[in-house]
Every structure is written in C-alpha cells, then in structure tokens.
C-alpha cells in the first residue's frame, strides 16, 4: 500500500534519503515549541480549512504541520518529500527543519488537495 | 497512478516553485521599464535602421542536419520507450519532455537560432508536397499546437503521467505526419508548434537563418525584424505570453483555493483561466494597436508589430523557467543517465533567481520597445510616428508591469 502511494507521486526528489533531512511523525497531540512555523489543517468532505494558503518560514526554522483528514489519505510535502499516513479522524503532525528555499506544495495524495504552500525564505 | 505528479504543480513538473521577488526588485524593474520607454520615444533614431532578412554576414556553415535528425529520432524513440515501459517512480521521461526539451528549446534557440528545424525528425520524411500550403493557414496550426501543449502542462489533471504525454505526442505525430505528407516540409515551418516556437525565438539569436536557408551572423534586432507577418502570428505570440502569465498566477493561494473548491472542478476552471489569460493578452494587444492605427493614420498594423512581442514573451519564459531548468534539469540528467548523484537544490539562491527574473523581464521589454520603435518610424508618417508609438509603449508597459506583478504577488 505504501509503495503504491509513493509510486503515485511519480518522479520526485530523493531528498528524504539524504542525511540531515530527517523528519519525525507523531500521532499524539503536538507539544508547542517556540519559534516553529506551524499550520493546523482539517480536511472534511473534500474541503480544506482554513482554505489553502501560505505557510511562511525562514530558512532553518523548524516547521510543524498538523493535519486531520476525515478519510484515510497520505500527506506529502513536496521538495522535502516528507510523507505521512493520515488515518481517518486522527490528527497527524509532521516536523522537519526548513532547509530548502522556495515554495513547496503540501498536499494529500488520494484527494489531491493542496493543503497549504510552504514558503521558505 | 504510475509516474504521475498530483496537485496543481506549476510548469507541469517539479517539486518547488519560486518565491515572490522582493518589493525592491519589482519597483526597480518597473521604474527601469518606464524610463526606457520614455527615453526611447524621444531619443531613438528617426529613420528605420533594421533591414530584416537582408542583414548580416553570411557564414559558411553546413550543419550535418541528417545525422542530427537521426539522433533526435533515436532520443524520441528512447523517450517513448520510457513512457511505455519505464519505471513507475523516478521515470526520467516527463523531465526529458518538460524540462530538457520544452524549456531547453528557449536557451538553445536564443544561442543557435532555429534549432528544432535542424533537429526535427519529421524533416527526415521526403519533401514531396501534393498541394501548396494555403497561405491563410499561417501560424494558426502552430498556435493551436502550442495551446494544446501548454494546456497539458498547466491544466491537465496529470500533466506528468505517461498516458497524458503519450496521448499528446501521438496526436502531435499524427498531425505532423499528415501535414508533411500533404504539404511537404513547408507544413513543418508553420504547422509544427515546436518548430515555429524555436524559429520565432531563434530570430533573436545572433546566429540567424535567412529565408533562403543561408546562415548569417546578424544583429538580433535585424533577426527580429525579419519575422514575416502572417495569419495567426499574433495569436501564437499571445498563446506564449498568456500561458506563461497563467503559469504565474496559477499557484497563487486564492486561485489554488478556487481550483479545488469551485463548482467547475480543477480542469474546467483551469481551462477557463488559461483561455482568459490568453484572451486578455490578445484583447489588450488589439486595443492598443487599434489606437496606434488611429493616431498614426495607418490600417492593418496588428500583424506588423507582433514581432516586437517576441522578446517580451522570451523575458516571461526565462523568468518563469530559469530555476526549473537549473534545478529540475539536473534531475533530468541524473535520472536519464542513472547517475548516483543528488540534485543540488540550492545551486541558485533566491537572490540570484529574483535578479535573473527581473533582468529577463526588463531586457525583454527594452528589446520589444526598440523593435516597435523601428517598425513605427518605417510604417507611420514621420509627423505621426512618435505619437503613434505611445499606445504601443502603453501596451508593453502593461505586459511588463503585469509580468513583474505576477513575480511579486503570486
């Protein structure tokens, strides 16, 4: 299943295999950390709330994205290639340092929704 | 779901897009464009200086076109093989099409002239026209082909999926094959979207090609002046400008939100947005050229100024594709050759990208103004040439400020 989902994203960067680009996934309630760029996003009935916008971060700043989806899905942060399974109704948090500059889509694979765009300056 | 990218990625492919340019860059670029336009009105020459197709020094250059076309054909077969039988993940084929071929044609044509004409594998077919190419076709087939390609790149649900690319290129090949069998090679010049694209951009190359086939070293402005007005030329240039403009605003959060929550669906609204961008560019062109004709006392100016939009379109293309070429171009090479290397994502920083973007837009604007000025003093009566140019410069300032706004705000 996971292999199929990864294949679904097709040609993509390999940065997630690099050392120094590690990321962690937690399924418990996230502990707030100072200085993080963070977004909390819900997907319900194919709608994204808050509506897809921008998540601004400085280069090197830690990023935390919490997503709750009403259906099983997979989260993908493009460019950083951070991925996480989204079980229905369970908030999932991904954390990683913003090490690449540019604008990167944060999206779901199954419902193909752009949740937000991560803008790292 | 093999080898596809999802979401509404700009450029059909890639994992990142560019940050907005800093406000200082946007204002500096806008200021430079305005100052150059007004200086051009007052200071540039009063008599036409560009001599189009007659200009330049002939260089004895015989290109090995046949071997080059055979090599291109092999590359095409290899890419088709990758699309059909390639790996599901990390398939290099979409990168070869969208990055090396489509984006790479811009710098290659700017440096070496009409490169796709030299490489076009359809020119391996015999040139035996059964009928003369109707002159009213002009650039319309190329314009339609470019619209189809940019629709696939920017709007199609799965732009990088092998199935999408196979459908496009089977239709493309069938069209070129039929066109060449009926009209001979004359078809390819105006009917092959990639050849028309590469040749139009190649008119700005110092290494030019005259209509009689001789290669010349010439002033790029003479090359630009040599573009012959033809039906559909304005439409083709508007497709290039409008689609690149749409590419600029398609990642804006408000548009992304409208695409995925609107009643029309992603593809429906995306198609409308792309067509609206092209129609907007064309309407502005028609309105400003109409006013220029009224002021200058001349009719039928629209096709005769289309060449001056080519540098502006190239400026847009460079601004939108520069980072894609230097970053995703690496991935195309790494995946195709199976290298054990990683893409250096930070090979160009945000400052460099913003500088290249603004310089490309402003340089395109300046070249467009100069080309339009020379054409005006040739076509309009001397007493009205300066006033007649004002709508043209308003048009170009609109395109340039529009381009900078897209880079700044989206």
pLDDT in tens, B169-198: 999 999 999 999 999 999 999 999 999 999
A33 touches chain B (CB under 8 A): no
Percent of chain B with pLDDT over 90: 70
Pairing, β A37-44 against β A62-69: parallel
Task: Summarize the confidence of residues B326-340 as an average pLDDT.
Answer: 91
Residue B148 has pLDDT above 50, yes or no: yes
Can you tell me the mean pLDDT for B282-300?
92
- pLDDT band at residue A15, thresholds of 50, 70 and 90? very low
Q: Given pLDDT bands bounded at 50, 70 and 90, which one contains residue B7?
A: very low
Query: Looking at beta carbons, which residues of chain B come within 8 Å of A12?
Result: 5, 15, 89-90
pLDDT for res A32: 55
Is any Cβ of chain A less than 8 angstroms from the Cβ of B220? no
Pick from A7-16, B44-53, B107-116 the range whose average pLDDT is largest: B107-116
Instruction: Return the residue in A6, A9, A11, A50 with the most chain B beta carbons within 10 A, the one to mutate for interface testing.
Output: A11
Look at the alpha carbons of B147, B291, B366, B354 in this order and tell me if their dihedral is positive or negative. negative
Interface test with B, best of A2, A3, A4, A10 (most B CBs within 10 A): A10
pLDDT greater than 80 at residue B327: yes
Average pLDDT over residues B387-393: 90
Is the pLDDT confidence value at A5 over 80? Answer: no
- Is the pLDDT at B37 greater than 90? The verdict is no
Could you tell me the pLDDT band of residue B300, with boundaries at 50, 70 and 90? Answer: confident
Residue B289 has pLDDT above 90, yes or no: yes
Interchain CB distance below 8 Å, A81 and B15: yes
Mean residue pLDDT of chain A comes to 79
**What CATH number is attached to the domain comprising A20?**
2.60.40.420
pLDDT at A31: 57
How high is the pLDDT of residue A6? 36
The predicted pLDDT at position B51 comes to: 86
Q: How far is B6 from chain A (nearest CA, A)?
A: 6
Question: Residue A79 above 80 pLDDT?
Answer: yes
| pLDDT, average across residues B136-155 | 96
Ranking A23-27, A91-95, B59-63 by mean pLDDT, the lowest is: A23-27
Domain count across chain A:
1
B6-10, B106-110, B250-254, B298-302 — most confident range: B106-110
Beta bridge partners of A56: A119
Give yes or no for a contact between B375 and B44, defined as CB atoms under 8 angstroms apart. no
A vs B, Cβ pairs < 8 A, gives: 115
Amino acid B177: pLDDT: 97
Chain A residues with CB inside 8 Å of B265's CB?
none
* Interval A45-57 mean pLDDT: 91
Cβ of B345 within 8 Å of Cβ of A100? The answer is: yes
Preceding amide of A50 cis, omega within 30: yes
Confidence of residue A14 (pLDDT cuts 50, 70, 90): very low
Answer yes or no: is pLDDT of B401 > 70. yes
Helix H, strand E, coil C: the string for chain B is: CCCCCCCCCHHHCCCCECCCCCHHHHHHHHHHHHHHHHHHHHHCCCCCCCCHHHCCEECCCCCCHHHHHHHHHHHHHHHHHHHHHCCCCCCCHHHHHHHHHHHCHHHHHHHHCCHHHHHCHHHHCCCCCCCCCCCCCCCHHHHHHHHHHHHHHHCCCCCCCHHHHHHHHHHHHHHHHHHHHHHCHHHHHHHCHHHHHHHHHHCCCCEEECCCCCEEECCHHHHHHCCCCCCCHHHHHHHHHHHHHHHHHCCCHHHHHHHHHCCCHHHHHHHHHHHHHHHHHHHHHHHHHHHHHHHHCCCCCHHHHHHHHHHHHHHHHHHHHHHHHHHHHHHHHHHHHCCCCCCCCCCCCHHHHHHHHHHHHHHHHHHHHHHHHHHHHHHCCHHHHHHHHHHHHHHHHHHHHHHHHHHHHC
Of the spans A5-19, B20-34, B100-114, B386-400, which averages the highest pLDDT?
B100-114
Radius of gyration of chain A from its Cα atoms, rounded to whole angstroms: 13
A54 contacts B6? CB cut-off 8 A: no
Distance CA B218, CA B207 (A): 7
Give pLDDT, residue A13.
40
What is the pLDDT confidence band of residue B133, given thresholds at 50, 70 and 90?
A: very high
Interface contact A102-B16, CB threshold 8 A? yes
Work out the pLDDT band at A16, boundaries 50, 70, 90.
very low
Which sequence spans correspond to the domains of chain B? Answer: 10-409
B357 at interface of A, judged by CB pairs closer than 8 A:
no
Per-residue confidence (pLDDT) for residue B6, from 0 to 100? 39
A14 vs B331 pLDDT, higher one: B331
Say what the pLDDT of residue A23 is. Answer: 58
Which residues in chain A have their CB less than 8 angstroms from residue B357's CB?
none
Residue A3 scores a pLDDT above 50: no
User: How far off is chain A from B343, nearest CA to CA, in Å?
Assistant: 8
List CB contacts (< 8 A) between A112 and chain B: 6-7
Residues B260, A114: C-beta atoms closer than 8 Å = yes
Indicate the pTM of the whole model.
0.89
Whether residue B50 is predicted with pLDDT greater than 50 in this model: the reply is yes
The confidence band for A8, taking pLDDT boundaries of 50, 70 and 90, is: very low
Rounded to 10 deg, the angle between the B350-379 and B23-43 helix axes is: 20
Which pLDDT belongs to residue A26?
57
Task: Report in angstroms the alpha-carbon separations of A7 from A10, B2, B172, B265.
Answer: 5, 6, 28, 25
Per-residue pLDDT at B319 exceeds 90: yes
Share of chain B above pLDDT 70, in %: 97
Interchain contact A49–B (C-beta under 8 A): no
CB A84 within 8 Å of CB A23: no
Domain that holds residue A34: 2-120
pLDDT-derived band at B12, boundaries 50, 70, 90? low
Question: Any chain A CB within 8 A of the CB of B8?
Answer: yes
B22-40 mean pLDDT: 89
Any CB–CB contact under 8 A between A81 and chain B? Answer: yes
> What tokens appear for B174 in the block?
């069938």
User: Using the beta-carbon criterion (under 8 Å), do A18 and B342 form an inter-chain contact?
Assistant: yes
Over residues A26-48, the mean pLDDT reads 78
Q: Say what the pLDDT of residue B77 is.
A: 96
Inter-chain CB proximity B15 and A18 less than 8 Å = no
Among B59-63, B199-203, B359-363, the range scoring the smallest mean pLDDT is: B59-63
Q: What is the dihedral of CA B164, B169, B174, B175, to 10 degrees?
A: 100
- Which of B18, B343, B349 is the closest to A13 by Cβ? B343
A53: contact with B, CB 8 A cutoff: yes
- Average confidence score pLDDT of chain B: 91
CA gap B101, A67 in Å, rounded: 38
**For position A24, what pLDDT does the model report?**
58
Would you place residue B317 in the very low, low, confident or very high pLDDT band (cuts 50, 70, 90)?
A: very high
Per-residue pLDDT, A27: 55
Sheet harboring A47-49: ordered strands across? A24-26, A92-97, A62-69, A37-44, A47-49
């Amino acid at each position: 299943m996971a292999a199929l989902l990864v294949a679904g994203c097709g040609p993509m960067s390999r940065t997630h295999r690099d050392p120094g680009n590690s990321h962690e996934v937690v399924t418990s309630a996230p502990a707030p950390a100072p200085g993080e760029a963070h977004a909390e996003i819900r997907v319900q009935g194919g709608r994204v709330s808050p509506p897809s916008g921008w998540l601004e971060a400085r280069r090197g700043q830690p990023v935390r994205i919490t997503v709750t989806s009403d259906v099983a899905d997979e989260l993908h942060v493009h460019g950083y290639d951070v991925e996480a399974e989204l079980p229905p109704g369970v908030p999932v948090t991904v954390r990683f340092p913003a090490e690449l500059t540019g604008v990167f889509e944060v999206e779901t694979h199954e419902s193909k929704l752009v949740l937000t765009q991560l803008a790292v300056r | 779901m093999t080898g596809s990218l999802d979401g509404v990625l700009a450029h059909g492919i890639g994992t990142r897009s560019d940050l907005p340019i800093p406000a200082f860059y946007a204002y500096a670029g806008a200021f430079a464009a305005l100052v150059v336009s007004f200086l051009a009105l007052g200071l540039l020459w009063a008599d036409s200086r560009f001599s189009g197709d007659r200009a330049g020094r002939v260089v004895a250059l015989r290109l090995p076109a046949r071997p080059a076309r055979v090599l291109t054909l092999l590359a095409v077969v290899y890419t088709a093989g990758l699309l059909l039988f390639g790996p599901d993940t990390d398939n290099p084929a979409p990168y070869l099409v969208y990055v090396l071929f489509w984006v790479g044609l811009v710098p290659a044509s700017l440096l070496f002239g009409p490169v796709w004409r030299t490489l076009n594998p359809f020119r391996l077919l015999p040139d035996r026209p059964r009928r003369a190419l109707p002159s009213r076709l002009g650039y319309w087939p190329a314009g339609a082909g470019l619209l189809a390609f940019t629709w696939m790149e920017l709007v199609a649900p799965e732009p990088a999926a092998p199935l999408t690319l196979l459908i496009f290129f089977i239709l493309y090949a069938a069209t070129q094959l039929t066109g060449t069998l009926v009209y001979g090679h004359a078809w390819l010049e105006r009917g092959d979207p990639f050849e028309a694209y590469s040749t139009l951009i190649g008119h700005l190359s110092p290494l030019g090609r005259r209509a009689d086939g001789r290669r010349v070293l010439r002033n790029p402005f003479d090359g630009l002046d040599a573009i012959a007005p033809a039906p559909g030329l304005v439409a083709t240039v508007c497709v290039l400008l409008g689609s690149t403009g749409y590419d600029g605003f398609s990642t804006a959060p408000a548009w992304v939100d409208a695409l995925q929550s609107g009643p029309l669906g992603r593809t429906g609204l995306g198609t409308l947005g792309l067509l609206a961008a092209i129609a907007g560019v064309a309407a502005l062109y028609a309105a400003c050229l109409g006013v220029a004709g009224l002021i200058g006392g001349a009719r039928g100016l629209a096709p005769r100024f289309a060449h001056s939009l080519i540098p502006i379109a190239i400026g847009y293309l460079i601004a939108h594709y520069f980072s894609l070429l230097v970053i995703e171009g690496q991935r195309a090479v790494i995946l195709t050759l199976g290298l054990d290397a990683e893409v250096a994502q930070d090979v160009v920083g945000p400052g460099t990208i913003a500088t290249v973007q603004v310089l490309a837009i402003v340089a395109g604007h300046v070249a467009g103004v100069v080309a339009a000025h020379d054409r005006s003093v040739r076509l309009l009566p001397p007493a009205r040439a300066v006033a007649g140019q004002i709508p043209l410069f308003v048009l170009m300032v609109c395109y340039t400020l529009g381009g900078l706004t897209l880079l700044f705000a989206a």
